[in-house]
Amino acid sequence: MLSVLLLAIMVPTASVRGQSYFYDTVYVEPEIVKAYVEGYAGIVLGFGHGWDPPHPAVIGFSLRWNASRLDLLGWESLWPAQVHVGDGYLTVTANNPLGDTTLMTVDFTTKAVGTTFLTFSDSNIGTSGGYVAVLPRPPLPVAIHNLDTRLNYTTIQGAINAPETRNGHTIFVDAGMYFENVVVNKSISLVGEDKYHTVIDAMRTGSAIHVSANSVTVAGFTLSYAGRMSLQSGIYLYKSSFDNISDNIMKYNDYGMTITQSTDNSITGNIASDNNENGINLQDGSVNNVISGNTLLNNGFAGVRAYFSNSLSNLITDNNFTRNGFGVYSEGNSISILGNYFRSNGDSVVVARCSNNLVTDNIISNGGQGIHVLGGIMDIRGNHILSNNIISNNTDAGISLDWSYGNNVTSNMISNNGYGILIAYQSHDNRIFGNDISGNENGIRVSQSWNNTFVSNNILSNAISGIVFYSYYCLSTNNVVFHNNFINNTEQVISDGYHDIWDNGYPSGGNYWSNYTGTDFYSGQYQNETGSDRIGDTPYVIDAQNRDNYPLMFPYSPWDLSGPIMWVPDLKCDIRDIALVAKLYGSVENDGTYDRRADLTGTTYTIPDGKIDIRDIALVAKHFGETYT
């Protein structure tokens, strides 16, 4: 058992070759380590210094211990260093990192009862240190029970290995501390009495639990201090399927859980926290796993990471991600990330160099980037669906597409971010439909990207611009923007002067601009026919290359089709609008009854498909009860 404390020596100055240096700390962490004999003890060595350069170019340290009580198990230098090991000591020589630095981790095995002082010295400072108290192991209780055979055991592994333990049996483990590396190679249920007090400590030498059988249940444990080699984890599933891993705590490992070449597993209701790398790993051909209802907290790299494109069709749903480096980092194809809650992560969702992921119905706030779709310069990927997410208060972009194509970004609420949506680095043929983008610094930024389509978005009250186009090495051009509402943005458009398309022709029209000052006395393709048509008579001019030829006089709301007078909108969506579309249900283009005004959408949101069907009725019904001004 480890008690994490800190020992630091504060030294005002140290004279080296006539120069004066101020060092802040030299430390062994933890200061006091308590471990059972024939167990494990691990420490961290570090130092830091403050002001008053120049500092010496090379620094030297030494650590000494009682070799009769401790054996050096291993060490890992975290800074390029020369390390020399002897009987009861090691020395370190390294270039000065000029900052607070963790030098190395050192692991011991405990071989004799007693206390040994760790002496940590620096030639420029003095000596710091800590203690390792090696305790006798308590007698093993009869604490593990096979509920089917009614036999009792003193170790978990002994209960599993017993010939009387068969597939389908349940092993129940009383609350307590167990120093084991458990291998589950039978299809059993392994159940702890209480996940907070039934603890398996792996002693930094392997996984706490390694599952290699199918149809295994593991529930009710705290799993900690797994080894640091080859994905050793709190729980490691290897070529294992149809398992149920639930109601466990996985903390203080490099990896809370790793799932390798394993399929159809259910990972539910666990807490993965304070792991150095990832809370949960999915990798190397792991398919059809469900990760749901878990809490992922304070994990160094990611709450959940899906490695490799062959980790397919996994579902990540209804989890809580807080203060992880990344919430979800997915490199797997066809991953579904649904209905999760993300708060205060570095980036909440990263979808990197993969295809066909679904990210929908998540609540994402107070991080770096909300959703980041990332390809590569020579490996542009996409075809993701990002929909119905609520994304707010992120310092960077709500949604970012880099080196990515063919994505559908639909029906998201994106507010109070640095950028609402950022499309950059040769991203093309993306469809941005039906989003509410408000209160950001920039609503949409398109940088060095082309052939993207922006339709039916509400872009309002963004502090710098509604939409900005920027070209550098590559042109941002031939992007299509129509049927959007640009309302009260400080600048509606910032254009780099290259050509984009701002309307969908007549009579479909262009965009609504809250600062448009034109009139509507005329109609027709050339706006020279008597009678208004809810389209401005003069273009909305952006610059010499860009203009909206058919600016809308009212905010775009295609589901407001009719009022008391047929086909004359009344600024509300009500039963008249539903009835009008329903009356034309089943008609197709050129059949004599088809009316394009009721063909509101097809397989692509708000893009007519030449027929009036259930999609059109559903779209009007979705907006039933809305009013417009």
Q: What is the DSSP string of 67-93?
A: TTTEEEEEEEESSSEEEEEETTEEEEE
Read off the pLDDT band of 127 (50, 70, 90).
low
pLDDT single digits (tens) 383-393: 788 999 999 99
H helix count then E strand count, the chain: 3, 63
Give me the pLDDT at residue 51, please.
44
Helix (H) or strand (E) holding 617: helix 614-622
Instruction: For the chain, give the mean pLDDT.
Output: 85
* Weakest-pLDDT range from 127-131, 162-166, 399-403: 127-131
Under 8 Å between Cβ of 471 and 477: yes
What is the C-alpha separation between 31 and 132, in angstroms, rounded? 8
20 pLDDT higher than 50: no
Dihedral sign for Cα 501, 504, 506, 512, please. negative
Residue 100: count of CB within 10 angstroms of its CB: 12
Read off the pLDDT band of 21 (50, 70, 90).
very low
Q: What is the dihedral of CA 236, 239, 242, 248, to 10 degrees?
A: 0
Q: Which residues contact 159 (CB under 8 A, 6 or more apart)?
A: 144, 145, 146, 151, 153, 165, 171
Give me the pLDDT at residue 9, please.
28
* End-to-end C-alpha distance for the chain, whole angstroms: 66
45 pLDDT higher than 80: no
| Of 379, 328, 377, the residue nearest 353 (C-alpha) | 379
Tokens of 268: 């539910």
Tokens of 354: 């993969």
Distances (CA, A) of 377 to 400, 421, 428, 562: 16, 20, 13, 49
Give me the pLDDT at residue 100, please.
58
Under 8 Å between Cβ of 402 and 355: no
513 pLDDT higher than 90: yes
Identify the residue with better confidence: 224 or 28.
224
| Of 362, 370, 368, the residue nearest 388 (C-alpha) | 362
Identify the residue with better confidence: 405 or 94.
405
Q: Give the HSE-up count for residue 578: Cα atoms under 13 Å, Cβ half-sphere.
A: 12
Length of the chain: 629
What is the C-alpha separation between 328 and 399, in angstroms, rounded? 14
What is the Cα Rg of the chain in Å? 32
Report the 3 state secondary structure along 345-389: CCEEEEEECCCCCEEECCEEECCCCCEEEECECCECEECCEEECC
Under 8 Å between Cβ of 416 and 440: yes
| Of 465, 473, 516, the residue nearest 495 (C-alpha) | 465
What is the C-alpha separation between 369 and 168, in angstroms, rounded? 46
Under 8 Å between Cβ of 533 and 520: yes
Amino acid at 215: S
Give me the pLDDT at residue 14, please.
30
What is the C-alpha separation between 503 and 497, in angstroms, rounded? 17
Give me the pLDDT at residue 382, please.
66
Under 8 Å between Cβ of 56 and 16: yes
pLDDT average, residue stretch 297-314: 89
70 pLDDT higher than 90: no
CB-based burial, 291-314: b 16+ in 10 Å, e otherwise: bbbbbbbebebbbbbbbeeebbeb
Q: Which residues contact 161 (CB under 8 A, 6 or more apart)?
A: none
What is the C-alpha separation between 438 and 485, in angstroms, rounded? 11
pTM of structure: 0.78
Which pairing describes strands 101-110 and 70-77: parallel, antiparallel, or unpaired? antiparallel
What superfamily does domain 559-629 belong to in CATH? Answer: Dockerin domain (1.10.1330.10)
pLDDT average, residue stretch 265-287: 94
Under 8 Å between Cβ of 478 and 450: yes
Dihedral sign for Cα 559, 444, 494, 545, please. negative
Q: What is the dihedral of CA 263, 268, 273, 275, to 10 degrees?
A: -10
Tokens of 222: 């705290």
**Residue spans per domain, the chain:** 7-135, 502-556, 559-629
Helix (H) or strand (E) holding 582: helix 575-583
pLDDT average, residue stretch 595-615: 83
Q: Which CATH class is domain 7-135?
A: mainly beta
* Weakest-pLDDT range from 160-169, 186-195, 283-292: 283-292
What is the C-alpha separation between 253 and 225, in angstroms, rounded? 5
274 pLDDT higher than 90: yes
Identify the residue with better confidence: 274 or 333.
274
pLDDT single digits (tens) 359-381: 999 999 999 999 999 876 555 55
pLDDT single digits (tens) 142-151: 689 999 999 9
What is the C-alpha separation between 464 and 466, in angstroms, rounded? 7
185 pLDDT higher than 90: yes
Tokens of 463: 């502090």
What is the C-alpha separation between 437 and 444, in angstroms, rounded? 8
Give me the pLDDT at residue 39, please.
79
pLDDT single digits (tens) 206-263: 999 999 999 999 999 999 999 888 889 999 999 999 999 999 999 999 999 999 999 9
114 phi, psi to nearest 5 deg: 145, 180
Under 8 Å between Cβ of 456 and 605: yes
Give me the pLDDT at residue 167, please.
98
pLDDT average, residue stretch 594-616: 84
pLDDT average, residue stretch 112-129: 70
Give me the pLDDT at residue 561, please.
80
